[in-house]
Amino acid sequence: MAYKFRHIEKLIGSFVVISLMLLIAAIILIARGQHLITKKFYYTTRFNSAVHLVEGMPVKFKGLKIGAVKKIYLDENNTVIVKFYILKEFSSKIKKDSVLMINSPLIGEKFLEITSGTHKSPVADNGDFLYSADTKVGRKYLADQLAEVPATPTDLIIKNVQLLTAQLSDPNGAFMQTLQNFRKMSEGLAESKDIIKETMAALKDSAENLKELSENLKRNPLLGGWGSKPKKKRKK
């Protein structure tokens, strides 16, 4: 009888060990799928606004997800700082002149896109600061990448659109400054219109008051002939 109990205990022990091993294997697989145990390289960049930026949003390189946004915060100058990571296996693709841009497709999730940089640029180090398309340096890097050859027509179109989008979104750029000037002109015209309207209304009120005063004077018995020529007497 004791032998049977020992045999059952061994079976139970084996079952527990196997279950634990399977659980550990599942945890490892899940962690790998979530990149929890994969080595990452971290970088920072900055944007003018946090609109469309969320923690956890993917970072893509030529359409392939290679990392994610880790943290978004404001520095002492109220600049939006974005900390993100790239999986180590893709870290050699990131250059010091790679540029970050927010991509908002009509269909699908928004993501942070990173460009390949120029061929002559060295690979970025872990912890480096990379420029975004919101910065003047970032737009210059985009222009350098656009001018670099060889490039396919599709690449040229994409880079031109990226550069144009960055220039149009620059709050200190010529386009935004022109819009600001138009806005100020419109506000000035609106204020002038209100002033002219108020002046015309005041003149109208004054004219009506003068008319009323004139009528009152005419009806006054002491001034009955005011404002009219005296009648000539008929000769007999």
Query: What pLDDT is attached to residue 7?
Result: 62
Whether the ω angle into residue 230 lies within 30 degrees of 0, i.e. cis, is: no
Contact between 162 and 133 under an 8 Å Cβ cutoff? The reply is yes
The rounded distance, in Å, linking the Cα atoms of 47 and 138 is: 11
Query: What pLDDT is attached to residue 222?
Result: 52
Q: What pairs with residue 85 in β-bridges?
A: 42, 68
User: For the chain, what are the domain ranges?
Assistant: 40-175
Query: What pLDDT is attached to residue 177?
Result: 61
Could you read off the pLDDT of 27-46 as tens digits, one per residue? Answer: 555 555 554 557 999 999 99
Query: What pLDDT is attached to residue 197?
Result: 72
Could you read off the pLDDT of 99-116 as tens digits, one per residue? Answer: 999 998 888 889 999 999
The rounded distance, in Å, linking the Cα atoms of 100 and 61 is: 10
Q: Is the pLDDT of residue 233 over 60?
A: no
Pick the residue with more confidence: 7 or 29? Answer: 7
Share of residues in the chain with pLDDT > 90 (%): 38
Q: Is the pLDDT of residue 65 over 50?
A: yes
pTM: 0.54
Q: In this structure, are strands 64-74 and 40-47 parallel, antiparallel, or unpaired?
A: unpaired
Contact between 49 and 80 under an 8 Å Cβ cutoff? The reply is yes
Q: Is the pLDDT of residue 76 over 60?
A: yes
**Per the structure block, which two tokens stand in for 204?**
């109208």
Q: Looking at residue 129, what DSSP letter applies?
A: B
Cα four-point dihedral sign 91, 97, 71, 51: negative
Lowest mean pLDDT among 45-49, 101-105, 182-186: 182-186
Pick the residue with more confidence: 75 or 36? Answer: 75
